[in-house]
Structure formats: C-alpha cells, structure tokens
C-alpha cells in the first residue's frame, strides 16, 4: 500500500515514511529547542479546557483562566527568586528580549543613551541595539576572549565614560556554552540596570540573582514554543514600549494560557531534575570534548573547557563548511546545528565564532537533552569521524 500522504505548506506533499524517518533520528539540537517535557504534555492538556478563556473577564470561566495564569506566574517567579508581579509572559523569547531592552532604554533616558552589550549576544539583542542606534541612540559593543567570555574591564571602562542607560550581557553563550561573569559585571555597572538574556541557561544551569531585567524562552527548557518570560525586578525603571496599561510587560489579550501553564510546569520539573541531569549531561559532553578530537584530525573544541553550560559543545573543522557536515550527519540519523545558531536557515557564518576569532564556516553544535544516552553519544562520535573522512575523500583532500 502506498504511504499515506500529508498535505504540506504551499501545496507540497510529504509522505509519512519520510516524516517517520526524520522523527526517529537522534536529536542533538536541544539548545535550539528542547523536546517537550512529559510534564508539559500533561499540563498542556489539563489546562486546555479553561485556559482558552480571556483571563481579564470577571465571569467564572475568565476567573478560572486567571487562576491558571496566576499559578504559572507564581511558579516561574519562585524559580527565579522574585515575586509574581515581577514576572511577565510574552509571545516568545525574542519578544521578551526586544520588549525588555526597549522598555529599559526608554525609562532610563535621564541616565543617558548608551547601550553597552556583549559582541556575542543573541541576534535579538543585536537587533535591539541596531534599532536603538537607528533611533539616535548610541551603543558600545564589548569584545570577548577566544573562549567567548566578555571583557569585564572593557564594560567597566564603558560605564565609566558615562551616559550608560543599560548594560546587556547573556548569562551564558547560546552557541558555545561559555558562562559569562554576571556577578562581576553587576559590580561594575555603577547603578545602570543590567539586562541578562538567560535563554540558554534557565532550566540547565543556575541563573543567580545578579540582574535587573531577565529574559528567557520556554522552548529552551522543554516547554512549548510561543512562550517568553520577562522578569523585571521591583524598583527597576522600565516603561512599556507599546504604551499599554496593566501588567508591566504583557500586551493585553492574546496570551496562550495553556502553553504558559505547560511552560511553568516544565520549568519546575527541569529545575527539580537539574542537579542529576546536569551531572549526566556534563559527563557526556566531557566525553565528546575529549573523544571527537581523537578521531577527527584538526578539529577544534570551541568555548571554555570548564566554566560552561553542561549540555552544549561546539566543534570547528577547518576543511569543511558546517552545512555539508550537518546534512551528512542528518542522513546518518543525527540532528545537529551548523552555522549561526540564530540564523542557520540563512547559512550565515556565526557572528559568535567570528568575534571569538574561531573559524566560523566549519562549525557544528551538539546540545543534549534528557533523552540522549551514552550510546547515542558514542554512535555520534563514530559517525562524525566516518562522515568527515568520507567528505574529505570525496573532495580529494590531503593532510596538511
């Protein structure tokens, strides 16, 4: 019998055999989007009956939706160590970043018009900085070491020059996993608010409390896509860039409450499991960091070898671009990311690796989730060595 056909976007047909084959590959791109946590599945279904109602309405169903939203806010606030009114939900992590930065810059105009940010920030931060300069503001981009760590002395010098409205630095890098010295940065900002993009860290690593404004994205920790978190500490100057009334950062209407409930439940679950899972994933990443260079000549392991997130490792290979490596690994049953983690669909070299001074065209990132096993890691290492050798043979390459 012919495979069942599914109608795809734009009128294209996709057969179920191909789809099933894609679903059975070993997924090693959790830093892009983690698989939905089982607790999130359960919460999403449980909240579906009441969560679609408007939580601003005073009738019974509206109040039920409000209770779900309030409970989710309390859960996220508890994990972050803040109060519920300090937590808002947005359409996604990119919206949380854009809203958080724009609102802080607007509210702190009296301090100045300079936005200080790390050079290896997520593209959403860099876009917000570009919009700021387009509107007449100023920006100072802070360089990083070869391991991807931001230069704290340069931040201190930039702040000392004055007119700094906001400092924006990620908690850890989303492409190479290097942690940033947020506590030290908080000491040198001299009263300027500190915006921290914690999307790569929350649910995987301790975020700490050395921040004024924090943004995160639920699909990075095993919640549904379409849920961003923006936390603004009490007393921090922030104005809604959209001019809406009500809760500080939430646009009235349109919140996907079942997804928010599922995101909060998943965050609570992964935080409960974090210590055990961190040790397990760190051990597997350690194996990759040591074993891949042993079987793939000339490969460079990128990022800080110790002070890093537990689930991310990036390799740079000088003889091949990341795209063929990624596609060949996909054919072998492994899903990894290549190029810039936030613009891979455009096949653009990673700005993060370029700023680090690392070869950017031949990079692949491996990122783990709770479903990855040691056997998966061993198979990946063997497969990567075989794929690289095959690509080099096909190209007629010789060793240096």
Q: Which residues pair with 139 in a beta bridge?
A: 115
Question: How far is CA 329 from each of CA 253, 390, 392, rounded to the nearest angstrom?
Answer: 43, 11, 14
Q: Which residues pair with 338 in a beta bridge?
A: 364
- HSE of 198 in the Cβ direction (CA atoms, 13 Å)? 28
Question: How far is CA 254 from each of CA 51, 79, 258, 364, 376, rounded to the nearest angstrom?
Answer: 11, 25, 12, 37, 40
Q: Say which residues have a Cβ less than 8 Å from residue 6's Cβ, sequence separation at least 6.
A: 13, 14, 15, 16, 19
Q: What's the rounded Cα separation, in Å, for the pair 151 and 155?
A: 7
What does 248-316 look like in DSSP terms, one character per residue?
A: TTPPSS---HHHHHHHHHHHHHHHHHHHHHHHHHHHHHHHHHHHHHHHSTT-EEES-SSSB-TTEEEEE
Q: What's the rounded Cα separation, in Å, for the pair 366 and 296?
A: 15
Q: Kindly tell me the burial class for residue 150, based on how many C-beta atoms sit within 10 Å of its own C-beta (0-12, 13-18, 19 or more).
A: buried
Maximum CA extent, the chain: 74
Helix boundaries (H) for 81-231: 93-107, 123-134, 152-160, 182-188
Q: Are 119 and 210 within 8 A, CB to CB?
A: no
Active-site position among 97, 263, 285, 342: 342
Helix crossing, 60-80 with 38-51: angle to 10°? 150
Could you confirm whether 148 is annotated as catalytic?
Answer: no
Hey, which residues are catalytic here?
342
């Amino acid at each position: 019998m012919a495979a069942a056909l599914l109608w795809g976007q734009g009128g294209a047909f996709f057969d179920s055999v191909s789809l099933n084959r894609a679903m059975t590959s070993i997924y090693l791109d959790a830093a892009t989007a983690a698989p939905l946590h089982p607790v999130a599945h359960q919460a999403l279904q449980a909240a579906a009956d009441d969560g679609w109602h408007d939580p601003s309405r005073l009738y019974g169903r509206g109040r039920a939706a409000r209770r779900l939203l309030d409970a989710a806010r309390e859960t996220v606030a508890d994990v972050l160590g803040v109060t519920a009114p300090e937590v808002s939900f947005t359409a996604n992590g990119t919206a949380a970043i854009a809203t958080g930065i724009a609102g802080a810059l607007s509210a702190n105009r009296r301090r100045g018009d300079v936005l200080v940010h790390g050079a290896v920030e997520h593209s959403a931060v860099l876009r917000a900085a570009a919009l700021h300069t387009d509107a007449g503001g100023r920006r100072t981009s802070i360089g990083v070491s070869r391991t991807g760590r931001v230069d704290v002395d340069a931040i201190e010098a930039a702040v000392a020059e004055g007119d700094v409205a906001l400092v924006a630095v990620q908690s850890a890098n989303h492409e190479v996993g290097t942690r940033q010295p947020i506590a030290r940065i908080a000491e040198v900002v001299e009263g300027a608010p500190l915006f921290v993009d914690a999307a790569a860290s929350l649910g995987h690593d301790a975020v700490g409390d050395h921040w004024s404004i924090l943004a995160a994205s639920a699909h990075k920790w095993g919640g549904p896509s379409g849920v961003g978190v923006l936390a603004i500490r009490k007393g921090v100057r922030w104005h809604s860039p959209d001019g809406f009334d009500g809760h500080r950062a939430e646009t009235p209407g349109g919140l996907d409450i079942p997804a928010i409930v599922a995101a909060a439940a998943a965050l609570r679950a992964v935080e409960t499991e974090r210590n055990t899972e961190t040790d397990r994933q760190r051990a597997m990443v350690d194996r990759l960091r040591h074993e891949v260079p042993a079987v793939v000549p000339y490969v460079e392991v990128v990022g800080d070898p110790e002070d890093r997130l537990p689930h991310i490792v990036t390799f740079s290979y000088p003889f091949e671009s990341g795209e063929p490596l990624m596609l060949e690994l996909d054919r072998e049953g492994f899903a990894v990311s290549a190029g810039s983690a936030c613009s891979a669909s455009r096949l653009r070299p990673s700005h993060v690796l370029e700023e680090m001074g690392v070869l950017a065209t031949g990079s692949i990132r491996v990122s783990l989730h709770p479903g990855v096993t040691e056997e998966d890691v061993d198979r990946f290492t063997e497969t990567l060595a075989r794929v690289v050798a095959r690509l080099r043979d096909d190209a007629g390459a010789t060793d240096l």
